């Protein structure tokens, strides 16, 4: 591993840490200025049954009686050590509340990514193998159709068709296999559109290269040309697309959980917003920002290792810089 790559990795890691800290500060400020008083709406709500002594203890434990800057510093310090605080609603550890619902969301997100990749590669394969007269143009229109259809519309349609009419799954059992599968399809269809668009564009570019023309002249069938020659160089930008759209995937997961009635991060966010449980809401938003930054950091670190052309560009720039540094300086007043 070269020194140039280590320098690049250290620089990107430092930038990622700064972004995470700024995202946490921004989240804290936004949550702090939300309309409504959480002390009045949560602690002093007669339905919750807190006494004045218990309210005073909770306020002191949460540090809500301190200046806003002190609250920010204490909250950020605790976050960096893994302490997400206590829920104002249930008086339980926020980390425990998140751990109870996180597996469901992870299963849904991972299944959605699997469906999206399968669908994107299937559409891209069809655009290279299916002749134009047999519907290649229709396949090329699929990404635009997928991207323009909201995922909640897809989810409601799948529930109506496969849940109520075909009775393939029961709506009251959202964690069953088929319910999870169709929830993953709901996420995967819009997510696959961006992957498919980038993949098709790169496949078309690679198909016009000289090595592809030579392969076709040797009689290699389109299916083998796709798998053996075109797929690998064209699939590399997919890593970047997945990293850039992971935030959208998380957002769609929250919406899909609500549509299918799943108990996950989405339902926890909904309860936290309705009850103004600020520690829970801030922890979830901050962790979402961390996930987004970490995924993009991994993509940035992997891309130079996966694509040799990136190294060639770096080496070319390094050689050009070295040539410029070693060139004899012009005397004052002299013309080049």
Judge contact between 234 and 199, C-beta under 8 A: yes
The residue-averaged pLDDT of 160-181 equals 89
Confidence class for position 330, pLDDT limits 50, 70, 90: very low
Joined tokens for residue 242: 């997945």
pTM of the predicted protein model = 0.76
Q: Is residue 112 within 8 Å of 181, Cβ to Cβ?
A: no
CB 151 within 8 A of CB 256: yes
Span 90-141, pLDDT tens digits: 778 888 989 998 898 889 988 998 999 999 999 988 888 888 777 778 888 8
Closest CA to 261 of 157, 167, 176, 192: 176
Give the 3-state secondary structure percentages of the chain, helix then strand then coil, rounded to 5: 80, 0, 20
Whole-Å CA distances, 162 to 110, 166, 169, 253: 22, 5, 7, 20
**Angle at CA of residue 115, ends 112 and 121, nearest 5°:** 135
Question: Among 144, 178, 140, 147, which Cα is nearest to 161's?
Answer: 178
Q: Residues 330, 334, 336, CA angle at the centre, nearest 5°?
A: 70
Query: What pLDDT does 54 receive?
Result: 74
Exposure string of 213-246, with b = 16+ CB inside 10 Å and e = fewer, is: eebeeeeeeeeebbeebbbebbbebbbebbbebb
Helices 231-244 and 94-129 sit at what angle, rounded to 10 degrees?
150
Q: How confident is the model at residue 331 (pLDDT cuts 50, 70, 90)?
A: very low
Mean pLDDT (the chain) is: 80
* Ramachandran angles phi, psi of 245, nearest 5°: -105, 10
pLDDT in tens, 229-288: 888 788 778 877 887 777 778 778 888 888 898 888 888 888 887 777 778 888 888 888
Structure tokens at 191: 């997510």
CA angle 177, 181, 187 (to 5 degrees): 150
State the Cα–Cα distance between residues 238 and 207, nearest whole angstrom: 17
For helices 94-129 and 136-148, the axis angle rounded to 10 degrees is 160
């Amino acid at each position: 591993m070269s020194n140039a790559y280590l320098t690049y990795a250290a620089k990107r890691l430092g930038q990622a840490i700064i972004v995470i800290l700024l995202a946490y500060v921004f989240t804290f400020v936004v949550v702090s200025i939300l309309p409504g008083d959480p002390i009045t709406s949560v602690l002093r709500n007669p339905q919750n049954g807190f006494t004045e002594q218990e309210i005073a203890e909770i306020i002191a434990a949460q540090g809500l009686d301190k200046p806003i800057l002190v609250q920010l510093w204490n909250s950020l310090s605790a976050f960096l050590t893994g302490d997400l605080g206590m829920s104002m609603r249930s008086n339980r550890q926020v980390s425990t509340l998140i751990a109870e619902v996180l597996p469901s969301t992870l299963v849904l997100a991972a299944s959605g990514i699997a469906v999206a990749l399968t669908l994107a590669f299937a559409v891209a394969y069809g655009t290279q193998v299916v002749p134009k007269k047999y519907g290649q143009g229709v396949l090329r229109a699929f990404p635009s159709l997928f991207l323009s259809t909201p995922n909640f519309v897809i989810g409601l349609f799948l529930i109506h068709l496969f849940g109520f009419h075909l009775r393939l799954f029961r709506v009251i059992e959202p964690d069953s296999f088929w319910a999870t599968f169709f929830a993953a399809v709901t996420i995967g269809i819009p997510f696959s559109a961006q992957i498919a668009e980038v993949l098709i564009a790169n496949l078309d570019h690679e198909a016009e290269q000289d090595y592809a023309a030579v392969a076709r002249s040797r009689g290699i069938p389109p299916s083998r040309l796709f798998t053996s020659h075109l797929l690998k160089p064209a699939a590399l930008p997919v890593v970047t697309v997945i990293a850039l759209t992971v935030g959208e995937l998380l957002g769609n997961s929250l919406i899909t959980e609500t549509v299918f009635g799943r108990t996950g991060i989405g339902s926890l966010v909904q309860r936290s917003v309705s009850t103004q449980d600020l520690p829970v809401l801030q922890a979830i938003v901050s962790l979402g920002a961390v996930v987004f930054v970490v995924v993009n950091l991994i993509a940035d670190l992997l891309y130079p290792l996966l694509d040799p052309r990136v190294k060639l560009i770096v080496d070319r720039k390094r050689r050009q810089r070295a040539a410029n540094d070693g060139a004899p300086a012009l005397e004052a007043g002299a013309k080049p």
